[in-house]
Amino acid sequence: MKKNIQPLLWLMAVLVTWSACKKSNDTVTNNPVPTDTTSNPISSPAKENFESGTKDSYDPSSISLSTGKWHFNNAVIGTTGDDRRNDNKSARIQGKGSISMNFDIVGGVYRVAISSGVFGTDGPSTWQLWVSYNSGSSYSQIGNDITTTGTVLQHDTIVINAVNKVRFAIRKSSVDNNRLNIDDVSAILTSGPLAPNFADDNHMLLGNPTNATPSPLDEENYYMDKGYYALCYQRSLGIPKWVSWHLSTADIGSTPRQDDFRPDDDLPVSWYHVSDQSYAGSGFDRGHQCPSNDRTLTVPANSSTFLMTNMIPQAPNLNQGAWQKLEDSCNRLVTLLGKEVYIICGSYGTGGTGNNGLLNSIDNERISVPARLWKIVVVLPNGNNDLSRITTGTRVIAVDMPNDNTVGIGTDWKSYRVSVDALETIMGYDFLSNVPAAVQQVIEAQVDNL
């Protein structure tokens, strides 16, 4: 559960936000109204990658791109080696410049996803997403200010939830000489995140911590139902953001480990598909998120865990040590102690230490190596009406482990226990969101000590 800020701070934030929006609701002097204000509307979903445009001058003007005409103010199309981009081009903004749509998107937009990076050796830049619901007559900021700090493209998503026509402007708000690259602006059409599913034993019973959607345009928050578990995939990193599953005696049998590591053909065709050889020679294990040992009832169930969308590059000593020990402990809770468990795990950060030392990526930079691995386990006695049986006395295990080979194989997983609150603070996720708020407040603050 995400925590509310103190009432006084909340009031101050509201006043500051109201003041800023009141002053900036209409087009401001550093974002002049373009002469060419209209091009044909397009239907959602839509994605602009800036590949079809050319603009070398920072002078204000409108240019034609694949989605329609955009107005560039103190901005150009960047193609140099210092421009951060996914393909050959990206937008580059300097000063308090902006890029704005001269057209509407119709049909509804739920979320906007934007990639950004620091140009060359410049410092961080802060920027904002502004939205217009009246064909550009007025704009207001939506979402919080976003600060871009790295030379590797970061990916941010902002919930819009617009039902009718909408257009967007991206404005660099920091007053500095730093330049900002913007790429792959995606307007994502869904009916919203997945509807909550409160049925017993389903893999998403406890919630959707990042509001992942099944839209292929939601490239960094792409929901996949694998039948035997659910996951959220990050296209740019080549690894899952999180994997979630339920484990009970109904999942346990005598099926041997299949070891059929393979690409996941359910990914969109245009995406890079990590293969069974992508980790070869990297010094990292193909680290299961949903473990093979949790799916031994049938061959298809076990085989599903060897899809590469269920893997991250994991330091061998950690994978075969503390991480596996926690997996085994969860399995024993079910097979020996009459429990059923709900598990979600993932990773965050960049840079892990495997057999070949510290690496930020593998497979020609197509797969990111995370710095940390986390897991949350909710333990219940076998029974029915699972959600209603989660109380303030329910055992919740949360861990945060370094992806580092210096973690000895004999290390006890219990030394890495943290609270769920601590993980939420680090990553900004909202765990256990389907659990009543009063129960969340208690169980998310505790650190397991059993």
Question: What amino acid positions are annotated as catalytic residues?
Answer: 288
With a CB cutoff of 8 Å and minimum separation 6, the contacts of 360 are 350, 351, 368, 369
**Dist CA 182 CA 91 (whole Å):** 5
Q: Which of 127, 186, 126, 114 is nearest to 153 (CA)?
A: 114
Supply 342's token pair. Answer: 């709900």
Q: Which of 390, 446, 442 is nearest to 418 (CA)?
A: 446
Q: What is the DSSP letter of 6?
A: P
Q: Can you tell me whether residue 389 is helix, strand or coil?
A: helix
Amino acid at 105: I
Q: Can you tell me whether residue 92 is helix, strand or coil?
A: strand
Residue 46 φ then ψ, to 5°: -150, 155
For residue 235, the cross-strand partners are: none
With a CB cutoff of 8 Å and minimum separation 6, the contacts of 393 are none
With a CB cutoff of 8 Å and minimum separation 6, the contacts of 14 are none
Q: Give the count of alpha carbons within 13 A of 192, CB side only.
A: 6
Q: Which of 312, 436, 439 is nearest to 375 (CA)?
A: 312
Amino acid at 185: V
Q: Which of 213, 202, 172, 201 is nearest to 44 (CA)?
A: 213
414, exposed or middle or buried, with CB in 10 Å at 0-12, 13-18, 19+? middle
Q: Would you list the DSSP string of 313-374?
A: EE-HHHHTTHHHHHHHHHHHHHHTT-EEEEEEEEEESS-EEETTEEESEETTTTEE--SEEE
Q: How many residues are there in the chain?
A: 450
Q: Would you list the DSSP string of 51-93?
A: TT------S-EEEE-SSSEEEEEEEEEE-STTS--SSS-EEEE
Supply 409's token pair. Answer: 């194989």
